[in-house]
Amino acid sequence: MLQLKMFPASYGDAFLLRDENADGFAVLIDGGFASTFQNEIRPELIAMAKEGRALDLVIATHIDADHISGLIKFFEQNGPSRTPKIIKVEQVWHNSLRSIPPPLIKMRRELLAEDDQLINDICKRGFVLSNESPRPDEEIGARQGSSLAALLLKGGYSWNASNGHYAIDSNASELALRSNTRVSVLGPKPERLEALRVQWVTELRRLGLIGDVLDGDKFDDAFEFLSAVDKASSRTTLTEIGYSRNSDKSLKEVYVPDDSLNNGSSIAVNIETPTSNILFLGDSWAQDIEEAIEKRTQAGLPLVFDAIKISHHGSMRNTSCRLLSLIDSPIYLISTNGAKHSHPDLPVLREIVDRPSSFVRHLHFSYATTESRQIANYKSQSGAAFVVHEDSNAWIDIGIK
């Protein structure tokens, strides 16, 4: 049997999936903020290590602070791959600058003095603190200066099946884990990673870069530090699309596709065992997941997964009616405390439960929010049965029929 834990990660994501058998696999997907790792994830990993277990795979879905900060803290504390201080990690998936295939990164040459100073200044500053964080301790330290890429290289981890020089995208090969488990990648599409790289280079030019972008550790760091602030995200507001949190409008009426390049670069995976099938969507774009799922559907029937982690904390910009017509599950996971962008959005939750179903849907919220309480008091238009679980941070059994 599989067990899944959704950690309380403020408005971020952090999940641990494991086979309950002692020799079974374990996968950590995102790490929330630094405090998420320190207070919630670290004790679980220490307990697993004492049982002689390891993490078969760690996935950093993308470089937004609410997903990557806790993983940075983890690898800082875990130290070298060969002599881990917390737990052994077999493989890591993380797309940084060096993961974007050549010839997008130019061959090394002499770095101009002005450019060297600029990159040094960016690296010295580290990650920028968000003004939207409810507590400063949840964010990456503003002067931390450690990218995940740097920590993986220093620690000698198996990174994207090598040393980070391959992208984890929709063209990636399926990964086999223990317990006859397979991990397949639904996204990102390669062009999403390229668009993120172009945005980053544009920002470097704006800051004063004169010469070429080079292949080197400094540029790896600068890529993460600058890209963690997504400057290409749409400025469309809820008012502009005629939506308010108390609106009765449907998802079809309010859905506007996400155009955040950070979210578009998010790694989305299907983890399949002989008895279970789980979908983790990170912050992916709905249109990309639709395309990936459509390739797998048969006879126009929706794919029923044992659990689905809804994209981007239940945002109406990352879950479309079309996507929900392609997938379904008895377990939905919504990870957020609602502190950023007022996620989740009610039209998404209503669309999930309004569809007819032969099984009971369980909506697991990492926190009790206004929206979780509203959907708990909602009656499905189709009469489909559903149950709301708030503050759902205990282990969830997956695959029990």
Whether residue 329 contacts residue 304, with contact meaning beta carbons closer than 8 Å, is answered with yes
| Between 107 and 246, residue with greater pLDDT | 246
The model's confidence at residue 393, banded by pLDDT at 50, 70 and 90, is: very high
Of 27, 34, 32, 37, nearest in space to 12 by CA: 32
Strands 327-328 and 277-280: unpaired
Whether residue 165 contacts residue 98, with contact meaning beta carbons closer than 8 Å, is answered with yes
> Looking at the predicted structure, is the pLDDT value of residue 232 above 70?
no
Taking residues 46-59, report their average pLDDT: 96
Signed CA dihedral, 10, 12, 16, 17: sign only: positive
pLDDT of residue 229: 67
Rounded Cα distance between 59 and 305, Å, is 20
pLDDT of residue 226: 87
Strands 327-328 and 331-334: unpaired
User: Dihedral (C-alpha) 63, 227, 33, 41: value to the nearest 10 degrees?
Assistant: 20
Task: Note the pTM of the prediction, 2 decimals.
Answer: 0.93
Q: Percentage of residues in the chain with pLDDT exceeding 90?
A: 66
pLDDT of residue 142: 40
Of 69, 66, 37, nearest in space to 141 by CA: 69
Q: Which of 104-118, 124-138, 366-380, 382-396 has the lowest mean pLDDT?
A: 124-138
Taking residues 18-37, report their average pLDDT: 91
As beta bridge partners, residue 396 has: 4
> Looking at the predicted structure, is the pLDDT value of residue 227 above 70?
yes
pLDDT of residue 218: 86
- What's the per-residue H, E or C state across the chain? CEEEEECCCCCCCCEEEEECCCCCCEEEECCCCHHHHHHHHHHHHHHHHHCCCCECEEECCCCCHHHHHHHHHHHHHHCCCCCCCCCCECCEECCCHHHCCCCCCECCCCCCHHHHHHHHHHHHHCCCCCCCCCCHHHCCCCCCCCCHHHHHHHHCCCECCEECCCCCCCCCCCEEECCCEEEEEEECCHHHHHHHHHHHHHHHHHHCCCCCCECCHHHHHHHHHHHCCCCCCCCCCCCCCCCCCCCCCCHHHHCCCCCCHHHHCCCEEEEECCCCEEEECCCCCHHHHHHHHHCCCCCCCCEECCEEECHHHHCCCCCCHHHHHHEECCEEEECCCCCCCCCCCHHHHHHHHHCCCCCCEEEEECCCCHHHHHHHCCCCCCCCCEEEECCCCCCEEECCC
Structure token pair of residue 37: 């790792």
pLDDT of residue 14: 97
Structure token pair of residue 322: 């079309």
Whether residue 94 contacts residue 60, with contact meaning beta carbons closer than 8 Å, is answered with yes
**Residue type (1 letter), 180:** N
> Looking at the predicted structure, is the pLDDT value of residue 96 above 60?
yes
Taking residues 230-242, report their average pLDDT: 52
Rounded Cα distance between 64 and 335, Å, is 15
pLDDT of residue 244: 62
Structure token pair of residue 91: 């493989």
* Segment 156-173, tens digit of pLDDT: 999 999 989 899 999 999
* Segment 99-156, tens digit of pLDDT: 986 544 455 567 788 888 999 888 888 876 554 444 555 555 444 558 999 999 999 9
Q: Percentage of residues in the chain with pLDDT exceeding 70?
A: 87
As beta bridge partners, residue 11 has: none
Angle at 206 between CA 202 and CA 210, to 5 degrees: 90
* Segment 203-218, tens digit of pLDDT: 899 999 888 787 778 8
> Looking at the predicted structure, is the pLDDT value of residue 301 above 70?
no
Measured in whole angstroms, how far is the alpha carbon of residue 149 from the centre of its chain? 16
